C-alpha cells in the first residue's frame, strides 16, 4: 500500500530552512554595513581623543609659558619661550621682552632683530606700537640717526592719539638735536612745555635744558 505524502511535514521543513537563510542574510548585511560603521565610530572616537589631548597639551603649554614669562628675567629665559612655546599667547610678549633686554644689555643689533621679527610675525598684535618705537630706538643706538628720525616721525604721524605718541615726539626732538638741527628740536620742546599738565612736561624741560647745554658747549669749542 502506497504511502500518502506527508503534507503536514513540508511546512515544518520550510520553517527550518527559512530562518537559517534569514540569519545568513543578516550576517552578510552585518559584514557589509555594520563593520564599516564600527570602523567609522572607532575613527571618530580616536579623533575626539586626539583633539582632547591636543587641547589639554595646548592648555598645559599655555600655562607653562605664562609661568615662565611671569618669572623670566634674562634674555635666555625669554628666548626659551620664543623657541619652545611659539604657539602660545606668551610668545609675542616674550619676543618684545627679549628685544628690550637685548637693548638694555647694549646689544641694539640683536634687539633690532627681535623687534623686526615681532613686526613681521604679529601684524595685528596690540603691542605692535611698542615694537615700532623700539625699532626706532635701536636705529638711534646704532647711529642710524636719519632712519631713527624717520621712525619716530612716522610713529607720531601714524598714531597721534596713542599714549606713546609724546614719547615719539620727544625722541624726534632728541634725534634732531643730535643731527645739529637744534632749532627744530627746540620748537618741539617748547610746544610740549606750553601745556604743564602733560605727563611728559618735566621730561621735555629736562631735554630742552640738555639741548641748550650741548649748544653752549659746541659754541665754546
Q: Counting every residue, how long is the chain?
A: 221
Homologous superfamily (CATH) of 106-220 is: Tetratricopeptide repeat domain (1.25.40.10)
Provide the 8-state DSSP code for 88.
S
CB atoms inside a 10 Å sphere around CB 124: 5
Q: Looking at residue 45, what is its pLDDT?
A: 40
Q: Which of 172, 185, 179 is nearest to 211 (CA)?
A: 185
Domain edges within the chain: 106-220
Q: Looking at residue 150, what is its pLDDT?
A: 97
- The string of DSSP letters for 85-108 reads -TTSTHHHHHHHHHHHHHHHTT-H
Could you state, in chain order, the average pLDDT of each consecutive group of 10 residues for the chain (221 residues)?
A: 46 46 49 45 42 48 70 78 78 85 93 93 90 95 96 94 92 95 95 83 91 88 75
Q: Looking at residue 20, what is its pLDDT?
A: 52
Say how far apart CA 88 and CA 122 lie, in whole Å: 13
Greatest Cα-to-Cα distance within the chain, rounded to the nearest angstrom: 154
Q: Model's pTM, two decimal places? A: 0.67
Is 165 within 8 Å of 134 (Cβ atoms)? no
Say how far apart CA 192 and CA 201 lie, in whole Å: 6
Q: Looking at residue 153, what is its pLDDT?
A: 97
Burial class (CB in 10 A: 0-12, 13-18, 19+), 127: middle
CB atoms inside a 10 Å sphere around CB 68: 18
Is 98 within 8 Å of 75 (Cβ atoms)? yes
Q: Looking at residue 185, what is its pLDDT?
A: 95
Q: What angle in degrees, to the nearest 10, is found between the helix axes of 108-121 and 90-104?
A: 160
Q: Which three cell numbers stand for residue 216?
A: 653752549
Q: Which residues in 15-49 are b (16+ Cβ under 10 Å) and which e? A: eeeeeeeeeeeeeeeeeeeeeeeeeeeeeeeeeee
Please report, for residues 8, 9, 10, the alpha-carbon distance to residue 2 in angstroms, rounded to integers and kept in the order given.
17, 17, 19
Amino acid at each position: 500500500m502506497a504511502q500518502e505524502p506527508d503534507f503536514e511535514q513540508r511546512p515544518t521543513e520550510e520553517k527550518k530552512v527559512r530562518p537559517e537563510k534569514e540569519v545568513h542574510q543578516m550576517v552578510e548585511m552585518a559584514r557589509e554595513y555594520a563593520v564599516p560603521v564600527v570602523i567609522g565610530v572607532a575613527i571618530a572616537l580616536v579623533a575626539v581623543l586626539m583633539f582632547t589631548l591636543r587641547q589639554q597639551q595646548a592648555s598645559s603649554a599655555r600655562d607653562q609659558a605664562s609661568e615662565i614669562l611671569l618669572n623670566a628675567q634674562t634674555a635666555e629665559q625669554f628666548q626659551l619661550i620664543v623657541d619652545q612655546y611659539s604657539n602660545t599667547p606668551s610668545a609675542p610678549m616674550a619676543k618684545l621682552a627679549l628685544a628690550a633686554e637685548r637693548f638694555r644689555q647694549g646689544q641694539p643689533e640683536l634687539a633690532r632683530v627681535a623687534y623686526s621679527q615681532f613686526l613681521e610675525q604679529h601684524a595685528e598684535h596690540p603691542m605692535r606700537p611698542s615694537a615700532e618705537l623700539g625699532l626706532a630706538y635701536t636705529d638711534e643706538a646704532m647711529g642710524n640717526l636719519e632712519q631713527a628720525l624717520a621712525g619716530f616721525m612716522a610713529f607720531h604721524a601714524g598714531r597721534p592719539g596713542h599714549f606713546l605718541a609724546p614719547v615719539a615726539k620727544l625722541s624726534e626732538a632728541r634725534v634732531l638735536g643730535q643731527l645739529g638741527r637744534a632749532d627744530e628740536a627746540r620748537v618741539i620742546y617748547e610746544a610740549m612745555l606750553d601745556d604743564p599738565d602733560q605727563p611728559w612736561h618735566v621730561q621735555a624741560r629736562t631735554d630742552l635744558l640738555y639741548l641748550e647745554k650741548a649748544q653752549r658747549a659746541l659754541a665754546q669749542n
